[in-house]
Structures are given as C-alpha cells and as structure tokens.
Amino acid sequence: MNKYSKIIEVQGHLIDSLVLTKIFDNVMDLDGKFEVMKISVGKLKTDESYAKLRIIGKNKSHLNEIMTVLHREGATTKSQKNCKTKSASKNMVFPDNFYSTTNNHTSIYHKNKWINVENMMMDKCIVVKGNTARCVPIREVKKGDKIVIGEEGIKVSTPERPREGMNVFQFMGSGSSSERPTQHIAKKVAEDIKNTKKKGGKIVLVGGPAIVHTGAADAVAKMIKTGHINAVLAGNALAVHDVEYATLGTSLGMKVKDGTLAVRGHRNHMDAINSVFKAGSLKKMVQQKKLTRGIMYECVKKKIPFVLAGSLRDDGPLPDVITDIAEAQRDRGTWQALGIVSDVGAFLPMVAEKIGAKK
C-alpha cells in the first residue's frame, strides 16, 4: 500500500453530472494516481451512485494538493474533519489562508455536522456565526469575524443537469443561440416568463439603452404594465434614453418611429437629463405629469422597483442613479446566464406579442 494515500467517497449523480469524470481528470492532471475500490451506479435514473477511491500522491504535500482539488468536486474523506476558521484581524481583511467561494451550493462540516452556507456568491469568504454560515464580501468583513480557512470540511455541489421539463435554459443547453430558430426561441422565452409567473416566481429585466434605440421600448413598457416584469436593473443610459423617447420621441436625437434625425436633436439627450433634474427624480417627474409614458413611467406607476447603477461614462447621471458602485453592487448578482444572439429591436416585440402583452 502506498504511504501517501487517502480514501475518498463521493455520491450523487456521479455519471450524469460528470463528478466521477472530473475527479479522474483532476487526479491525472495533477500527476497523481487512483484506485477504484468500490463503485455502484444507480440502477435507475433516479438512483444515486456511490464510489470509493484510494487517491495516491508522491509525497505528503502532493497528496494534499490533490485532496484540495477533490474536496472542491464534492469528495469527502471517511473520517470527516470539521472545517477550520480564523478571526479577521481587522475590518475588510481576510485571514491569509481564507477559503474563496464559488457560486455553487456549498456546505461546511461544522461542529460535526454539515450545514449549508447561505447567500452563496462567487469570490467571497464564508463567515461562521454560531450554527450558521454565510457568504460575505471583503468590504463587509468585520474585525473578529470567524472566517473559514483551508479546504477541509467544505463540500461543493455541482448543479445537476436538468432532464425533465423544457424551459429555455434546457432547450438551449449551453450553446449560443446563433444557430436556432428565432421565432421559436421568442416563444420559449415567452412561455418561461408565463410559467415562472404562474409558479410565483419573479422576472427581473436587466436592460441597456439599445432597447430604446432599436425601437423595443414600447414592448418593454407594455410588459411592465401587464405585470410580466417585476423589477428592473439597469444603468443611467436606459433611463435617459427612455425619458428622451417618452418626452421627445427620439433616442440620441434619432426619431424612433422612422429613424430620421430630428432637427437640433443632438440636444434631446441632455434635455431629457435636465428634465429629470428639474423635476427632482423620475418619480417626481411622473407625479408632476411631465413623464407620462415609457419604461420608467410604468415602473413608477406599477411600483416596480428599479435600480440604476452608475458607470464611468454616464451623462448626468440622473438623480436616481446610485453613483457609488460599492453600494450599487448590493443589488446585483447572477447565478446563471444564457446568451441569445438576436436583434433586440425585433426580438423583444416578438416576445411581448407571444406573451400576450398587446397594447
């Protein structure tokens, strides 16, 4: 028997979700060896599989290096040790050997049992407090916080690949949409929006100014009005373009209804910004009946929350924009994304129509 070896166990959908493949790959990539001691693959697709492997390194540090990686893939050792923590020496500073999170579901072995880490986000640390664990960004770390260090006692669950049903994520797979039938994708997106709403889920629009410029603002406003959008995350530009279009009919001076340039239209962009400053805010502009249509109008009317995050190239920016990005970041986060390559000026009106958000 090899001197530098450890026995690991893994269970779950080992074959489906490539767990076993990744473990084999990692061991070999790191120039280690493995022996399969036991493997049982679920007879039926609903059954879980189980594997027990001996991992062999060249020396102690090599073995530890391999184990570090395998822990990330969900492998556990027979004699599970509790995860270790260390106190933050001052505000906004991690201990040196801090565990850096992924965006997958994570558990830690704490006081001899597995507990879930809440508020999972990528590239953060895990703070343990009593019997709970929580994902925390560096700027929110306080002196004395107990922060997880090393890699032991941590288990990361790879997301299982969905089989049943057929929402747009499953339909598209991981590939790009550039080789798919556009009208069908629009239909799928519309169906997913409706199904998500039906199940009590929420739809959040993260949009840019091209929505207005390519003539899709009416479709989006309508989807907000009909209750198909529950929150809007955007930047200054979407709001400014929307107000320009709503008040002057142009987007950067171009008449949206026919694509021609308005006389003196170059100033419409700044005129829109000025009109919001004059009113005091988007909400006040609606209350003063100066803004009577469009995306931001419908948000205010329907009390749909919107967050406008500032960026370096903003004109203005509007009084409603959160100019401190450290503050704006608290409202943001993506767990998974799917790319659809289309023309937003054609695609969104198609989605709106299929969703039944007609005028």
**Binders of a second copy in range 236-265 (CB under 8 A):** 252, 254, 256-260, 263-264
Whether 331 contacts 307, CB under 8 Å: yes
Report DSSP letters for 51-91, one per residue. Answer: EEEEEE-SSHHHHHHHHHHHHHTT-EESSPPPPEEEE-SST
The least CB distance from residue 305 to a second copy, in Å, is: 17
140 binds a second copy (CB under 8 A): no
In one-letter notation, the amino acid at residue 160 is E
Contact between 33 and a second copy (CB under 8 A)? yes
Residue type, 338: L
Q: Which is nearer to a second copy, 13 or 228 (CB)?
A: 13
- By CB neighbour count within 10 A (0-12 exposed, 13-18 middle, 19+ buried), where does 244 fall? buried
Q: Which is nearer to a second copy, 129 or 264 (CB)?
A: 264
Q: CA–CA separation, 163 vs 169, rounded Å?
A: 11
Hey, which residues between 217 and 236 contact a second copy (CB under 8 A)? 235
Q: How many CB atoms lie within 10 A of CB 303?
A: 7
Would you say 130 or 259 has its CB closer to a second copy?
Answer: 259
Candidate residues 3, 43, 78, 303; the one interacting with a second copy per rule CB under 8 A = 43
Comparison of 62 and 301: residue with beta carbon closer to a second copy: 62
Question: Is residue 204 a contact point for a second copy (CB under 8 A)?
Answer: no
- How many Cβ atoms from other residues are within 10 Å of residue 86's Cβ? 16
End-to-end Cα, the chain, rounded Å: 75
Query: Any bridge partners for residue 33, and if so which?
Result: 56
Q: Which two tokens stand for residue 3?
A: 């001197």
What is the CA angle 150-154-155, rounded to 5?
145
As given in the structure block, the two tokens for residue 171 are 């339909």
Q: Considering the complex, what minimum distance in angstroms separates the CB of residue 200 from a second copy?
A: 27
316 binds a second copy (CB under 8 A): yes
* 135 lies in the binding site for a second copy (CB under 8 A): no
Residues 6+ apart with CB under 8 A from 170: 162
Stretch of residues binding a second copy (CB under 8 A), selected from 104-112, 152-160, 285-293, 310-318? 310-318
200 binds a second copy (CB under 8 A): no
DSSP assignment, residue 112? Answer: T
Whether the Cβ atoms of residue 87 and residue 95 lie closer than 8 Å to each other: yes
Q: Mask of contacts with a second copy, 152-191, x by CB under 8 A?
A: -----------x-------x-------xxxxxxxx-x---
Min CB(117)–a second copy separation in Å: 16
Name which of 185 and 357 has its Cβ closer to a second copy: 185
Please select the residue that binds a second copy; options are 1, 44, 198, 337, rule is CB under 8 A. Answer: 44
Region for residue 353 given its phi and psi (left: phi exceeds 0; alpha: psi -120 to 50; beta: otherwise)? alpha
21 binds a second copy (CB under 8 A): yes
Q: Which of 87, 277, 292, 335 binds a second copy (CB under 8 A)?
A: 277
Q: Residue 69 and residue 23: Cα distance in Å, rounded?
A: 9
| Least separation in angstroms between CB 288 and a second copy | 14
| Selected range binding a second copy among 98-106, 152-160, 220-228, 296-304, rule: CB under 8 A | 98-106
Residue nearer to a second copy on the CB measure, 41 or 204: 41
Q: Enumerate residues 279-308 that contact a second copy by CB under 8 A.
A: none
